[in-house]
Structure 1
Amino acid sequence: MTPGQSSSLRMPSFLHGDYSSVHQKTRKEGLRCGGQYREDGSFPAPRQMSEMPPGEVLVVHEGVDFQRERPAWRLYMVSNVKRGMWEALDWPNTFEVDDLYEAFCRETAWGALYFAIGRTAPMSAERVALRLQSVLRFWEPLQSVRYLFSSPNATLTLDELMGASCDWAMDAWCPVAAPVRARLETAAERMGRATREESLEAMLRQMPRVLTFARGLKHQNVVADPSFQRQRLSTLDPSAFERVSGACTSELLGQVYAWDRLLGKQ
């Protein structure tokens, strides 16, 4: 824990309440953020923060939020802050603003966690490394609460949450048996300094997992061939390679489908 950092998790009050009230409060916060960014290029800190008691539950995935009338902490609704911000700015290209807002949020425990587990594009090795490093800085306060992520009936510890949401990163960048935190530290360090060749090897390690999610491939035997995968990944242009360099399962799955379609046209 860094000096001066609380051992308790502090959350913006706009993320607490029943679903309807959180939806309204997060949109309002997004409009406020967009308004300030339009004025001076910065984002305002949340007006009110609240400390979560140890063991309290934080809902981090919309798919398990079935009791919407129940007051709860709803981290996944940060996405609605972003929508409110886009509404306020009304710009056709929000990529730069998104990047700046993410960097702003990663300086907080709640923001670091949101971006680490949310698989928000871009998923490059460089960006994912920054996200994991941010979570690791806030590990102790994030460890003080429990999480709803993959099942509405199972609360997870931070280790379990990161294991469930970032298993792909650990498998690709630290494929060893070790505690979750240690594997994340190694993965983040390796991703942060990865060369193109190191990213390529990480992606190839991830390909067997990726193919378990592929459905309806017409050229399964070809795209499953490691030599074919290596050749196609090696010849991606710098921008396309950067996009998949983190070895995220969903990004690589999109690449597999693109290869399969291309083979069908040959």
Structure 2
Amino acid sequence: MVSHVMSGLSEALEGQNTFPARDAYEAGFLDAAWGALYFATSAMVPVSAERTALRLQAVLRFWEPLQGARYLFKTLGAPFTLDELMEATCDWAMDAWCPGGETPVRERLTAAAERMARATREDCIEAILRQMPHALSFARNLKHRDVVADPAFQRERLAALPPPAFERVSGACTSDLLALLYSWDRQSGKP
């Protein structure tokens, strides 16, 4: 239902800037367990470090009641526990912001949310660089893979991003990083 409301907002505002309405809607629904779960697991843009921290903190506030349910995700008929669902949908956040997979999911999410909430630009760059090899594993048909895979190149390009563009990728979400890699690859081919 939440996704239908979000689509309806776009249609109702007919070409106007929908972000203020979407932001207000999200802020309101992070106060409900199902709203918090939706926004944390959907990876709906923007996926900045700050926004992701708020989403994860909202889920963590409702952890106990959400833990009693089972969730269908991608494979119908295979119910997930809350831990399994969060690991399947937010593994990128845990890997980038709280490396080390032996810690329980809830603890990793708590640490990741805390680190994201207080992250500096340099903290975000380090998290992004930790996540870049994972993003590269999904990148297909890169013409300049050796260039865009170079951590020094990535660091230089990340440092040069203007604040709004950097904010969009600061959470280190794999899909956002893939978009960056493809953009950098196209730019690398230009004279």
Specify the TM-score bucket, using the shorter chain as the normaliser: over 0.9
Taking the aligned partners of 1:180 and 1:206, their CA distance within structure 2 comes to 18
Which residue of the partner structure matches residue 54 of structure 2? Answer: 130
Which residue of the partner structure matches residue 175 of structure 1? Answer: 99
Residue 150 in structure 1 maps to residue 77 in structure 2: no
Q: Across the two proteins, how many residue pairs are aligned to each other?
A: 190
Q: Determine helix, strand or coil for the equivalent of 1:261.
A: helix
Q: What amino acid does structure 2 have at the position aligned with 1:201?
A: E
Residue 106 in structure 1 maps to residue 30 in structure 2: yes
Which residue of the partner structure matches residue 230 of structure 1? Answer: 155
Q: Determine helix, strand or coil for the equivalent of 2:71.
A: strand
**Higher-RCO chain (CA-CA 8 Å, sequence separation at least 6):** 2
Taking the aligned partners of 1:204 and 1:89, their CA distance within structure 2 comes to 37
Q: Determine helix, strand or coil for the equivalent of 2:189.
A: helix
Q: Which aligned runs of 4 or more in structure 1 are off by greater than 4 angstroms?
A: none
Q: What amino acid does structure 2 have at the position aligned with 1:150?
A: K
Q: TM-score, normalised by structure 1?
A: 0.70
Task: Please provide the CA RMSD for this pair.
Answer: 1.1
Residue 258 in structure 1 maps to residue 183 in structure 2: yes
Q: What amino acid does structure 1 have at the position aligned with 2:55?
A: R
Which residue of the partner structure matches residue 246 of structure 1? Answer: 171
With over 3 angstroms needed to count, the CA separation of the structure-2 counterparts of 1:265 and 1:167, relative to structure 1, is same
Q: TM-score, normalised by structure 2?
A: 0.96
Which residue of the partner structure matches residue 185 of structure 1? Answer: 110
Q: What amino acid does structure 2 have at the position aligned with 1:227?
A: A
Which residue of the partner structure matches residue 89 of structure 2? Answer: 165
Where structure 1 has 5 or more consecutive residues not aligned to the other structure, the ranges are 1-76
Q: What amino acid does structure 1 have at the position aligned with 2:17?
A: N
Answer 1 or 2: which has greater strand percent: 1
Which residue of the partner structure matches residue 83 of structure 1? Answer: 7
Task: Please identify, of 231-240 and 164-173, the stretch whose mean Cα deviation from structure 2 is larger.
Answer: 231-240
Identity %: 65
Q: Is the 8 A contact 2:9 2:18 kept in 1?
A: no
Q: What amino acid does structure 2 have at the position aligned with 1:145?
A: A
Which residue of the partner structure matches residue 12 of structure 1? Answer: none
Taking the aligned partners of 1:188 and 1:247, their CA distance within structure 2 comes to 13
Q: What amino acid does structure 2 have at the position aligned with 1:121?
A: V
Answer 1 or 2: which has greater helix percent: 2
Taking the aligned partners of 1:191 and 1:87, their CA distance within structure 2 comes to 32
